[in-house]
Structures are given as C-alpha cells and as structure tokens.
Structure 1
Amino acid sequence: MDVESKQGNKSTGMTPPPNYGSRRGRNCCFICLAILLLLGLLFLILGLTVFKAKKPVITVNSVSLRDMDFSLDIVRLQVHLNVTLQADLSVRNPNRVGFKYDSTSAILQYKGQVVGDAPIPAGGIGSRDTRPMNITLTVMADRLLSNSGLYSDILSGSGMLPLTTYVKLSGVVRVLFKIHVKTTTSCDLYIDVLNRKLANQTCHYKTKL
C-alpha cells in the first residue's frame, strides 16, 4: 500500500513537457509580421523618394504662322481672314514610371471665344521620356468674323490680331497607387495682319498633382 501511494504521488507530481510547437508558431508569425512591416516601410520610402510622382511639363518649342489670307472690302466694310498656326510642343515625363494621358484638344481663342481647335488623341509617355506634338490650328472664320471686336483690332493703327492657344493634358502616374496629374500651357499671340507675320508670343505653364 505504501509503495502504491508513493507511486501515485510521483505520477501526480510529474509536469507536462513544454509545447515547443506553439512557441515556434508564434515566433514564425512575429517574423512574418516584421518582414511585412519592413517591406511596407521600404515601399513607402521608395514611393516618397525615388518613385515620388513628379509633374510632367508641356513646353512650347515654337509657334509659326503657317498660312494666312487677308482681304479688306472697304466699300462693304467686310473683312476676309483665314489663319492657320503650327504649334510645335513637347511633353516631358520626369517620372521613373510611365504617364498615361486622356484624349483632349488644343484650343485657339480670340478674346475668350473659341475660334479653332485640334484633337489630341490619348496616349502614354515612357519613364523619363519626352514626346513631341505637332499641332495645326486653323481659325474658324465664321466664328472669328462674328466677333465685333475683330474689326476694331484690324482697322486700328497697329493692325494686331490677339489670339491665345491653350492645351491641357490630364492623366495618371502609377506609383504604388494612382496619382492624377494635370498640366497646362497657354500662349498669348499677336499676329500682324497687315504684314502677315507673327509679331509676338508669350507662353505660360502650370502643372497640378
């Protein structure tokens, strides 16, 4: 009886072996979580430094007067005017990823009124690449002649016709996530109608992320 009781005491006093499997599982989870956090931090740092979205830039290289027909009927007080402009643009993408832009139009304005446009199809520009754009803008004579201010501009002593070109590109740069970009350019032009030449031009640029 004493032997059995001692054996019983020994059996009840034994401790179970440690569960190494569950400890290893927890360690693996912690390691995986730490790796994911480090990767996320790495991507965030790259996104804010190396792959940070930069603004595409439209540059107007030149604007030329391609064609112009002008005649003045003094008896009937009528002006006949046809103007065609050639704009040489370039769009530079400084990003390390591609830039995709939507279809748009180049617009020609006379004192705020649209008197001509030219379509620009959708496209893309590779990383750190520059794409040339050659645009032909023809004045819609009926719209231009319907503006009463035209006669005072042409018949004035200077004979200057003020026009404004406007181009806006809207697109997306993908750096970890989508970033919408808008870049615009406008040029104020002065055409010497009597001498049939482009007298002056001033261009402005604006980009928004």
Structure 2
Amino acid sequence: MDLESRQGKESPGGMAHPNYRSSSKKKRARNCCFISLAVLILLGLLFLILGLTVFKAKKPVITVNSVVLRDLGVSFDITRLQVHLNVTLQADLSVRNPNRVGFNYDSTSATLQYKGQVVGDAPVPAGKIGSRETRPMNIILTVMADRLFSNSGLYSDVMSGGLPLTTYVKLSGVVHVLFKIHVKSSTTCDLYIDVLNRKLVNQTCHYKTKL
C-alpha cells in the first residue's frame, strides 16, 4: 500500500480516520440485520413446516358406540286417538382428539328428535380432551311426553308397531396449533324402536366434522 492510501485511512499519529471507523460500524450493523432477518425467516419456515406436518390441525371425531333402550312405556287413549309415551335411551359415545394439542369444547346439548321435532335433550358440559386422547361420554335421553301430544303422526306410528327417533350431538371448540383453529364435530343417529317387542331394532349413524 502506498503512502497516500495509508494516509487516507490513518490520521496523524497512526490513528484510524473517523470516516473509516464510521463505515466499518455501518457494515457490521448491516451484517447483523441480514443475519437477524435470515434467522427470522428460518424460524418462520420451521414453524410453517411443523404447522403443516407434525402439528397440523386434525378433526376430532364423535363415534356412537351403542344406543340402548333402557325404558319404554306406552299407553293408548283410543277415544282421543292419543298415545302416552315414555322412552329412555342411553347413548354410549366416544370423542377422539387426534391432535398433538388439547381440544377445548363448549357446553352443548344432545337432543332426541321425532321427525324433526326435539322431544328430549341432555346437557353436555364444556370440557377439554387432551392430546391424542379418546374421551367416553354416556348420555341419557328421555322423551318429554308433553312435547308429543300435538304430533298427529305419533298415534299412527305407534299403532303400526314402530317408532322412528333421531339422536343428535354437536361439539364446537378450538385447538391451538400455532394459532386458534375452530372445530365443529357432530353425529346423527337414526333409530327405529320396535314398540311391540320393546327393543331397538335399527341404528344408522352419520358423522360430520368441519375445521
């Protein structure tokens, strides 16, 4: 390096020139910014990959293991063409959470329906299902007889020997996978009760889950 170049970088007495020191600081600061930005981008990509693979939100599933007819009482009022009906069902459910994080669900109700009309319900309190946990639920549903008095089709159905009923359960909640994801899971079971033999003879269930 010639004398003039050294003089451009050094001040009298061998000290670095102020402009040279300032340029060096700016370069280090710029390098630090680039490194920090690169680290943030790598962390973002890592979280994105984990969110789309290991921690990807999965749909909790409600499964109806069995529905049992616990009680059936029928009496007829021939003069008024009315039926006095008492029905109690026990539904054995299980809710599986396939996620690696917990599933928090809100309080809801399981309903018993007759041709679209709600004739009974049972509360399902809010709760949490842990990571990859399957939670059993036993629900007792009883027909509220006063809700059936105005239904003209009940008399003919019972007289024919069969009673169609439907159970419906819906859970709504959230899973926290990087961010909050709302989940809804429901199940509907169409039942047919043999009134003469006092037993449940048919059960068809349908499942639906939505993220």
TM-score (norm 2): 0.89
**Counterpart pick for 1:163 among 157, 162, 165:** 165
d(CA) in 2 for partners of 1:146, 1:132? 36
1:1-209 alignment to 2 at 5 Å?
14-16=7-9, 17=17, 18-19=20-21, 20-156=24-160, 159-209=161-211
d(CA) in 2 for partners of 1:178, 1:59? 24
d(CA) in 2 for partners of 1:114, 1:75? 26
Structure 1 vs Structure 2: percent identity of aligned residues? Answer: 81
Q: CA RMSD of the aligned region, Å?
A: 1.7
SS across alignment from 2:26: helix
Q: CA deviation at 1:191?
A: 0.7
Equivalent pairs counted in the alignment come to 198
Amino acid at match of 2:82: Q
- Could you tell me which residue of structure 1 aligns to residue 12 of structure 2? none
Deviation string 1:10-59 (CA, Å, 9 cap, x unpaired) is 99x93144332221121111111101110010000000111000000000
Deviation string 1:160-189 (CA, Å, 9 cap, x unpaired) is 100000001111011111111101100000
Q: Which stretch shows the higher mean deviation, 72-81 or 159-168?
A: 72-81
Q: Which 4+ runs in 1 deviate beyond 6 A?
A: none
Unmatched tracts of structure 2, length 5 or more? 10-16
Q: CA deviation at 1:76?
A: 4.7
d(CA) in 1 for partners of 2:139, 2:74? 22
Amino acid at match of 1:196: R
d(CA) in 2 for partners of 1:148, 1:195? 23
SS across alignment from 2:8: coil
- 8 Å contact 2:82–2:149 — kept in the other structure? no
- Could you tell me which residue of structure 2 aligns to residue 5 of structure 1? none
Unmatched tracts of structure 1, length 5 or more? 1-9
Amino acid at match of 1:14: Q
d(CA) in 2 for partners of 1:153, 1:132? 33
Amino acid at match of 1:39: L
d(CA) in 1 for partners of 2:86, 2:204? 22
d(CA) in 2 for partners of 1:75, 1:179? 57
